[in-house]
Structure 1
Amino acid sequence: MEQYTVDELEDALKVVKMLIPQRYECLACYLNRMLSHGCTGLKWCTTYRDLRAPRATALERKFPALGGHCDCEVMMNVFRANEAFWPREAENPSDDSYVPPCHKVRLGTIKPCELWVMRTGIQWGAGVFRAETKCA
């Protein structure tokens, strides 16, 4: 049996903790953080769903319908940054890597926090898509 040092085990634990969604972290913030580790299908979306929102079983059907066939496409086509909460480039042009902390969501949801806006025209609700309502 192979023995591991305490330092090796602590390093492995840090990696595992980094890959797990934080408590109350929204899906969009988690995806934004995880995409630095690469994009392979809906791997990070399903990881989040399995660990934080197991009842969101239609995720693999809904996101492709919105143009999100992989994690990076979900961030490009399904979610976009809510400009009111992100710093403008004119205010801080040297630091484009700043990401505000997640505004938290309830456990069990795949809706984004206030930092993100979900694509308009399609809403979540009771597991079905609802068409956008038009004003007369």
Structure 2
Amino acid sequence: MEQYTVTELEDALKMVKRLLPPRYECLACYLNRMLEHGCSGLKWCTTYRDMRAPRATAMERRFPELGGYCDCEVMANIFRTNDELWPRLADGKLDDEYVPPCHKVRLGTIKPCELWSMRTGVQWGGGVFRAIKRA
């Protein structure tokens, strides 16, 4: 049986902690972070659902209907940035380098925070993107 040092175990736990969705982080912010680790199916979506929104069982059926067959397609076709809340460069373009911190959502939802709009409806012409409004 192989023995691990305390430092090796701590490093492994830190890596696992980075891969799990923090409490109250929305699905879109989590996906945006996790896509740097690659895309293979709905792996990150289902990880989020299993950890933070286990009752969202229709997600795996609905996302492909909206054009999200894998995690990167979910970010491309289902979630869009709410441009009003993202920082801009001097020339007016969105700053791709800085990602604002998640505005947080309640546990149990796959809806995005205020930083994102989510596509709803399946119709030709791309459906409708609706910003999440908070009271």
User: Which bracket does the TM-score occupy, shorter chain normalised?
Assistant: 0.7 to 0.9
- Residues 21 and 48 in structure 1, CA contact (< 8 A), matched pair in contact too: yes
Q: Residue type matched to 1:107 in 2? A: L
| 1:104-119 equivalences in 2 (<5 Å) | 104-119=104-119
Q: Quick check: which one's strand share is greater?
A: 2
Change (3 A) 1:61 1:110: same
Cα pair distance change 1:91/1:5, threshold 3 Å: farther
Counterpart position of 2:54: 54
Confirm or deny: 8 A CA contact 1:89 1:96 kept in the other structure.
no
2:74 alignment counterpart: 74
Identical residues among aligned pairs (%) = 78
AA aligned opposite 2:113: C
Q: Matches of 1:54 and 1:34 in 2, distance apart? A: 19
| Structure-2 separation of matches of 1:63 and 1:35 | 17
Structure 1 unmatched ranges of 5 or more = 123-130
TM-score with structure 2 setting the length: 0.85
The Cα RMSD (Å) is: 1.9
Matched to 2:4, the amino acid is: Y
Please give the alpha-carbon distance, in whole angstroms, between the structure 1 residues aligned to 2:52 and 2:29.
13
Structure 2 letter corresponding to 1:49: R
1:1-136 counterparts in 2 under 5 A? 1-90=1-90, 96-121=96-121
Question: What TM-score do you get using the length of structure 1 for normalisation?
Answer: 0.84
Query: Displacement, 1:91?
Result: 6.4
